[in-house]
Amino acid sequence: MTMVRLGIRLTLRGGREAVTRLILTSLAVVVGVTVMLGVLGLFNAYQSTTTRQCWECAPTPVNQEAQGAGQRTDQPSPAKVGEPRTSIDLAAAEQAGATELWNFAQDFYQGTELRRLDVAALGPGAPTIPGLTRVPAPGTYYVSPALSHLLATTPHDRLADRFPGRQVGLIGEAALSSPDELAIVIGHTPDDLKARPATRAITAMSTDKEVKGTTSIYRFAFAFGAVALLLPIVIMVGTATRLSAARREERYAAMRLVGATPRQVAIVASVESFVAAALGAIGGTLLYLALSDQIAKVNVTGDRFFASDVSPKLWGYLGVLILVPTAAALAAIRSLRRVQYDPLAVARKATPKPVTFWRLIPLLVGVALFLVAVNWPDNDSSDAVIYPALVFTMWGIVSAGPWVTMQASRLLSRFAGGAASTLAARRLTDDPRATYRTVSGVTLAVFVGTAVAGILPSAVRAETSGDRAPLTNVLRLRYDMGPASTFLSPAAAAPVLRDLRAMPGVSVIPIYISEDPSGWTPDAGTPPPLGWQPPAEYVSCADAKVLPVLGACAPGQDVSAIAGDELFIDNPLLLHLPVMGYRDIDRLSGDGIKAAAPVGLDLSRLDITTLMVAATDGASLERARTYLDAHAPVLIGMGDPDEWSTNAAGPMTFGEVASIRQTMFRAAQQIFLFGVGLTLFVAGCSIAVATAGGLVERKRPFTLLRLSGTPMAVLRRVVFLESALPLLSVSAMAGGAAYAMAVIACRSLAPGTAMSFPVAAYAVTTATVLIAALAVVLGSMTLLSRMTRSENVRFE
């Protein structure tokens, strides 16, 4: 306890320098802890979003017989609009224990997903989704707050006409992943809902948890972002606790030389660091609580979080309040290894051992592991490799920084002349670790920023550029997929085509299907006849002129075959154009099987399997979609064919298909940009703290140099070169490593797509970051001038 009291006395009553060191360390830890708690709060909000109950997932059904013959899990043969459908046997469903009819569908409005659930209670025990206390009565519906606002401000023919009934309330937060989510739950009578395609008789809602970010790109983004956020914060806190480390080493070395044991010196040092870090942790927690309302407004993943979810939770607060001071104390003990084992080396100012080439090993290992991870055949298993790869790479940059700094300083001493260059090169060569530590945060930001600039723009641009661009606002509707399979008969299609073509700004391209002369259907229970091929699809050359990207007919040709299947894929990168003139196209090779249309084919006598609706503006698009929802609904099964009866999707544009994937890219980009901005903020604080601490440590030699006649301009150049040289050299290394990893990722995750690197924007942004970092260093020159005045010639 005696040494603990001595440590507290030296910390709190050790003179002006001790108080200054305590204040600077505490302030730095305050910033680091506040940022750390903010990151934990946002991460917990993301976890809460992805682990909420997924009411949209497949619920618990009753046995298959109660579902009715029309609800088979295999794909039935298409019927025609207007033909009677097999509906659910309500009596059998209730006898089997069903309590509700459930029909979930995915719709879109202006590119935003809209989740729609139509339900009908079969009894008093009907399950409800989270956020509702009861099943909506027939003719009523509940909506999310965001959709409620849209319904109140949007013309009915663009949105509200899709939903029967009237609004009676709002869906609670428990059912929503974001305040901006569009969702609706509509009540029906059992008779209204039993014959609707994709309706299921269920006993309970799904208890599965929602899963987001299932692609390798998204997992890579979140892993990269998490590491990029935490590592600079740890560096800054470590930098803060090492303020005036050289001066403290002298004091502790003197204690060792007069008889203090290593254990006693360690206790004194750990108490000093623990007190400063504890004060900073408490202050950072209080500052976070004061700013928590503003932190909740930060958009990290592209969707806002509910304010109630943005919290570090009790374990986060306790972890910060306990682990940060403890880590600071351990770091202080570790920094005194020379004092404990060789105090005379400290007194003699012996030069530390030079850094070696082995410091590059973690960086090389990280890049190699990353190459393995992005080429791993199993995406789920690649997670076990990609996390260590990112940690090794970013740790490798920090580890290799001193070696690169030392090599740059040797080049400086060899090719640059003048007193300032000589003094700076000598300092960098003697202790490259300490000098690089000042700018390590900025080099990490350069690494992350370069990776972002190389990967994400390439992924987003590849899906919406080139031949795919004209299809962005084109609705695609297919009537021969899933349990809702039903062709549009000529009689049913005629009024639909007439009304759509009468809408201003709307064009329609119907795709027709020929009859199968064999009479075989996929659900026949027998293998197809020898040589059987699926019926061919055709399009009118006059209609196809609306979208030349689909292909062109030969002169005098009226009808063309078309590979309609090619238009219904969920990855725009695999869309091969043109599709006219082909019966089928291989999605991997792009090779097509050509087909010719029979001479004199009368399309008006054929059923329609697909409608493509092009609109000139968003209002026309939503008006056409709302009309189709009411007069020619199509419910295309989602997911695995064996689960097509689980839920359904409404008509989507090609742009909306791409936007589903791009939502993950945008979320990844938000995480990256948030991480880069936070990293730069933390790095700026680290530079300010470390530069000021380094000047305080060398107050005596700088003052003596000034008194001996060294111009102030020379001292300023020394300090500037000591920070600028490692900053520029290691940033170049970090940028090169990140660019190489971006090239690897683009070639592996999007084969055949050229990397889109924004050279001009990247150069301007990187230059701005580096100039800002150097400006922070220049800002410390005022402190250098003040502390080297002649009145400071007498040292304590």
Q: pLDDT tens for residues 309-339?
A: 888 888 888 888 888 888 777 766 666 555 4
Mean pLDDT, range 476-484, rounded to an integer = 65
H or E, element range at 460? helix 440-464
Which residue in 54, 171, 192 sits closest to 121, CA to CA?
192
- Find the range with the poorest average confidence among 190-204, 266-280, 719-733: 266-280
CA 761, 764, 768: angle at the middle one, nearest 5?
A: 140
- Find the range with the poorest average confidence among 77-91, 166-180, 446-460: 77-91
Cα–Cα distance between 325 and 331 in angstroms, integer? 10
Mean pLDDT, range 484-507, rounded to an integer = 85
Q: Which residue bears the tokens 């809702």?
A: 484
Q: Which backbone phi and psi does 545 adopt, to 5 degrees?
A: -65, -20
Give me the amino acid identity at 569: I
What is the length of the chain? 796
Predicted pLDDT of residue 786: 76
The contacts of residue 377 (CB under 8 Å, 6+ apart) are none
Predicted pLDDT of residue 75: 39
Q: Is 360 exposed, middle or buried (0-12, 13-18, 19+ CB in 10 A)?
A: middle
Look at residue 14 and tell me whether its pLDDT is greater than 80: no
Look at residue 147 and tell me whether its pLDDT is greater than 80: yes
Look at residue 48 and tell me whether its pLDDT is greater than 80: no
Predicted pLDDT of residue 482: 45
- The better pLDDT of the pair 573, 760 is held by 760
Beta bridge partners of 345: none
Predicted pLDDT of residue 456: 64
Q: Which backbone phi and psi does 111 adopt, to 5 degrees?
A: 85, -5
Predicted pLDDT of residue 89: 76
Domain ranges of the chain: 1-51+227-350, 60-204, 357-464+654-796, 489-517+533-631
- The better pLDDT of the pair 48, 725 is held by 725
Q: Using one digit for the tens of pLDDT, what is the confidence trace for 578-588?
A: 888 888 877 65
Cα–Cα distance between 210 and 202 in angstroms, integer? 19
- The better pLDDT of the pair 293, 182 is held by 182
Q: Is the pTM of this model over 0.85?
A: no
- The better pLDDT of the pair 286, 639 is held by 286
Cα–Cα distance between 502 and 27 in angstroms, integer? 68
The contacts of residue 688 (CB under 8 Å, 6+ apart) are 776, 779, 780
Mean pLDDT, range 48-62, rounded to an integer = 75
Cα–Cα distance between 670 and 305 in angstroms, integer? 13
Q: Which backbone phi and psi does 275 adopt, to 5 degrees?
A: -65, -45
% of the chain surpassing 90 pLDDT: 9
Q: Residue 556, Cα to own-chain centre: how many angstroms?
A: 51
Give me the amino acid identity at 363: L
Look at residue 128 and tell me whether its pLDDT is greater than 80: yes
**Pairing outcome for strands 592-594 and 582-585:** antiparallel
Q: Which backbone phi and psi does 77 adopt, to 5 degrees?
A: -70, 145
Look at residue 515 and tell me whether its pLDDT is greater than 90: no
Mean pLDDT, range 745-771, rounded to an integer = 68
Beta bridge partners of 114: 107, 182
Give me the amino acid identity at 7: G
Whether 301 contacts 210, CB under 8 Å: no
Q: Using one digit for the tens of pLDDT, what is the confidence trace for 164-200?
A: 899 999 999 888 888 888 999 999 998 888 877 678 8
Q: Which residue bears the tokens 């739950």?
A: 185
Look at residue 636 and tell me whether its pLDDT is greater than 50: no
Task: For residue 253, give both structure tokens.
Answer: 């070395």
Look at residue 19 and tell me whether its pLDDT is greater than 50: yes
Predicted pLDDT of residue 499: 93
Mean pLDDT, range 30-35, rounded to an integer = 80
The contacts of residue 420 (CB under 8 Å, 6+ apart) are 714, 715, 717, 718, 721
Whether 686 contacts 236, CB under 8 Å: yes
- Find the range with the poorest average confidence among 222-226, 697-701, 734-738: 222-226
Predicted pLDDT of residue 656: 78
Look at residue 301 and tell me whether its pLDDT is greater than 80: no
Predicted pLDDT of residue 68: 47
426 pLDDT band, cuts 50/70/90, is confident
Give me the amino acid identity at 133: T
Whether 507 contacts 643, CB under 8 Å: no
CA 286, 287, 293: angle at the middle one, nearest 5?
A: 105
Predicted pLDDT of residue 239: 59
Predicted pLDDT of residue 241: 55
Predicted pLDDT of residue 605: 87
Predicted pLDDT of residue 512: 92
Identify the top-confidence range among 67-71, 571-575, 635-639.
Answer: 571-575
Predicted pLDDT of residue 352: 65
- Find the range with the poorest average confidence among 10-19, 147-156, 200-209: 10-19
Tell me the average pLDDT of the chain. 75
DSSP calls for 571-592: -GGG--S--BTEEEE-TTT--E
The contacts of residue 319 (CB under 8 Å, 6+ apart) are none
Q: Using one digit for the tens of pLDDT, what is the confidence trace for 594-622?
A: 888 888 888 888 888 888 899 888 889 89
Look at residue 753 and tell me whether its pLDDT is greater than 70: no
- The better pLDDT of the pair 238, 423 is held by 423
Which residue in 179, 320, 226 sits closest to 674, CA to CA?
226
% of the chain surpassing 70 pLDDT: 67
Cis peptide before 527 (omega within 30 of 0): no
Cα–Cα distance between 276 and 34 in angstroms, integer? 15
Q: Which backbone phi and psi does 308 adopt, to 5 degrees?
A: -70, -20
